[in-house]
Amino acid sequence: ILEVTKLKEEMGEKTVAVDAFEGNNLVLVDEGHRGASSGGSGAWIKYRNALCEKGFSFEYSATFGQAVKGNRELTNIYARSTLFDYSYRWFYGDGFGKDYQILNLEDDSDPDWRKDYLTACLLAFFQQQKLYREQEAAFRPFNLERPLWIFVGGSVTATLSSKDASDIIEILRFLRGYVTDRADSITRIRKVLHEGLLAKNGKNIFAGRFVYLNTCGLSPEQIFDETLAILFNAPGGGALHVENLKGVAGEVAVRVGDNDPFGVINVGDDSKLVKLCEAEGLNVAEREFTGSLFHELDRPHSTVNILIGSRKFTEGWSSWRVSTMGLMNVGRGEGAQIIQLFGRGVRLKGYGMSLKRSGYAALPEGLKRPKYIEILETLNIFGIRADYMAQFRDFLEEEGLPANEKKIEIILPIVKNLGKRPLKTIRL
């Protein structure tokens, strides 16, 4: 098993020469779209072709269509070679994976309106968390996982660009303001739930999004207190702290007071990010830590509810927990990465590991869909910049999927009486 980046013309300390694999090779390629955007002359494509020149290759990718778009040569090659096409439109139409709702901040130039928008996003995630906690036993047969909110930025790898850093710091400043300014946060909660957030066309973009939360009978003050306890692990509140975990490379913990971390930032240049946070007035520190918060995300004991990172999540990382996704500077020119990222969030175990939404799964008699289960079977996607969110919608529509502005799902019950009643036939 080799990573494509390890293939080179000549042998090296950490690389393998393509010529070392002479012969009739059977090559299995995962994430086959990688390198396709460079065309047939790209290095990765050339190495793969050399490996199977006298053999055969099977390639898999969920995003060949986006990767070869605009390249006629590659389009013709893959059009003649496709054995099995099960793109997202068919996957979704057959009931697999989560449903989705896309919200878009059309204009983020007004900082006050942006805070209202992010508060509404936080409440949508809180609704998922609260519902899961209060009805976990009822949801257990459907294999639903504890919700996780992820924020995804651009290429935060070995280096950290100023744009990526500003996106991360913007989110941290919002979270700091939310947990420390109780009065302001309660006012915004009241506004979101009672007045809504109106777009330019006068439409409330969060209409119908809090159907469960509105039935809980909680005041804005009570909701704020519960968000501190459930989302931030801090029933008593406190100051926001950003901590560089010295025992783990590339991880920065986020906590309120001395409570357990509620968030983790997965970033290549952790020291640089912490320095930038300090320059922005955030409380920073270093902490000796032996375990990885990121790699423990799927463990039952994980205290992390919010994950902030880069678009490297689009490949190689998998979690069943992702329920809410915030996109920062992602998708401006990479259609394949948009769909890959989308795939991180719509994964669903489903009843009996069917991978299907409960409305499509074959349930045994006596087992009913719990009320409000669709909230946990839906991926919330929040964008902050309209241009790439519009492009994101375009890619979904190209897959033959609805924009999903507002959808009403009607479940028709099936009466299973075949074989229990004699069939009436016409006698001639």
Q: Which of 85, 119, 146 is the last residue of a domain?
A: 85
Residues 183, 79 share a domain: no
- DSSP lists the bridge partners of residue 312 as none
pLDDT for 156 equals: 43
In this structure, are 73 and 108 located in the same domain? no
pLDDT tens digits, residue range 287-302? 887 789 999 999 999 9
Percent above pLDDT 90 for the chain: 41
Q: What's the whole-number average pLDDT of the chain?
A: 84
Indicate whether 391 belongs to any domain.
yes
User: Domain boundary residue among 29, 64, 85?
Assistant: 85
Does residue 419 fall inside a structural domain? Answer: no
- Per-residue pLDDT of 3-35, as tens digits, reads 877 888 888 888 888 888 888 889 888 876 666
pLDDT digits (tens, 9 = 90+) for 190-240: 999 998 888 777 888 888 899 999 999 999 999 999 999 999 999 999 999
Looking at the structure, tell me whether residues 81 and 111 fall in a common domain.
no
Residue 37 confidence (pLDDT) = 58
Number of structural domains found in the chain: 2
Q: Is residue 423 part of a domain?
A: no
Three-class SS of the chain: CCCHHHEECCCCCCCEEHHHHCCCCEEEECCCCCCHHHCCCCHHHHHHHHHCCCCEEEECCCCHHHHCCCCHHHHHHHHHHCCCCCCHHHHHHCCECCEEEEEECCCCCCHHHHHHHHHHHHHHHHHHHHHHHHCHHHHHHHCCCCCEEEEECCCCCCCCCHHHHHHHHHHHHHHHHHHHCHHHHHHHHHHHHHHCCECCCCCECCCCCCCCHHHCCCCHHHHHHHHHHHCCCCCCCCCEEEEEECCCCCEEEEEECCCCCCEEEECCCHHHHHHHHHHCCCEEEEECCCCCCCCCCCCCCCCCCEEEECHHHHCCCCCCCEEEEEECCCCCCCHHHHHHHHHHHCCCCCHHHCCECCCCCCCCCCCCCCCCHHHHCEEEEEECCHHHHHHHHHHHHHCCCCCCCCCCCCCCCCCCCCCCCCCCCCCC
**Quick one: pLDDT at residue 7?**
83
pLDDT at 21: 84
| Amino acid making up residue 185 | S
Same domain, 328 and 363: yes
Is 147 domain-assigned? yes
| Whether pLDDT at 339 is above 80 | no
The confidence score (pLDDT) of residue 178 equals 97
Q: How far apart are CA 238 and CA 257, in angstroms?
A: 5
Range of the domain at 63: 4-85
- Asked if the structure places residue 405 within a domain, the reply is no
> Is the domain of 168 the same as that of 112?
yes
**In terms of domains, do 244 and 368 share one?**
yes
The percentage of the chain sitting over the pLDDT mark of 70, rounded to a whole number, equals 81
| Tens of pLDDT, residues 49-68 | 888 888 888 888 776 766 67
Give the pLDDT confidence of 303-338 residue by residue, as tens digits: 999 999 866 665 667 899 999 988 876 655 555 666
Same domain, 328 and 359: yes
- Per the structure block, which two tokens stand in for 262? 């509620």
Q: Is the pTM of this model over 0.75?
A: yes
Higher pLDDT, 409 or 368: 368
Please answer whether residues 373 and 142 qualify as being in contact, where contact means their C-beta atoms are separated by less than 8 angstroms: yes
pLDDT (tens digit, 9 = 90+) per residue, 370-424? 999 999 999 998 887 645 666 667 767 776 776 655 555 666 666 666 566 677 7
The closest alpha carbon to 306, from 253, 357, 354, 356, belongs to 253
Same domain, 172 and 119: yes
The last residue of a domain, from among 25, 57, 85: 85
